[in-house]
A and B are shown apart, each in its own frame.
Chain A
Amino acid sequence: MMRLLIAALALAPTLAHAAGALEGDVQRTSTNFTAIVMFLAFVAVTLGITYWAAQRTRSTKDFYAAGGGIGGFQNGVAIAGDYMSAASFLGISALVYTSGFDGLIYSIGFLVGWPIIMFLMAERLRNLGRFTFADVVSYRLQAGPIRTLAAARW
Chain B
Amino acid sequence: MHLTRERSKLRLREFLQIGLITGALVLVMTQGLGFFAPKVHADSVPTGLPASPTCFAPNPCIQKFTQPMPRFDVLPRNAVSTLVPAPTAQANTTQQAVDPALGGGFGPIEGRPPGPIWAHQGFTLFPPQVAVEVTQEGAKINNVYNPGVPASLNSGINPATPFHPRFHPFAPDQGPLALWTFNGTLPPKLVIGRYAEPILFREHNKLPVNRAQNGGFGINSISTHEHNGHHGAENDGFTGAFFFPNQFYDYHWPIVLAGFSTINTSATDPNAGTPDDFGGKRNVAGDWHETMSTHWFHDHMFSFTSQNVYKGMAGMFNIYSAKDRGNEAINDGVNLRLPSGTAKSWANLDYDVNIMLADKAWDANGQLAFNKFDFDGFIGDRMTVNLVDNPFFEVEARKYRFRILNAAVSRFFKLALSDGSTMIQIANDGNLLPHPVPLTELDEIGIAERYDIVIDFSRYAVGSKVWMVNLTQQTNGKKPDKDLSLQEALAGSDNDPVVGKFLEFRIVRQPAVQDVSQVPDPLIPNPVLPAVTRSRTFEFGSGGSQTTTGSTSFTGPWGIKTDNQGDMLNADYGRITAGPNFGTTEQWTLKNGGGGWDHPIHIHFEEGQIIARNGSANNVPAWEKGRKDVYRLRPSGSVTIKMQFRDWGGMFMEHCHNTVHEDNAMLMRWEIDNGGSPFLRPLPTPISTPQGVTFVPPDDILPTAF
- Do A and B form a real pair? no
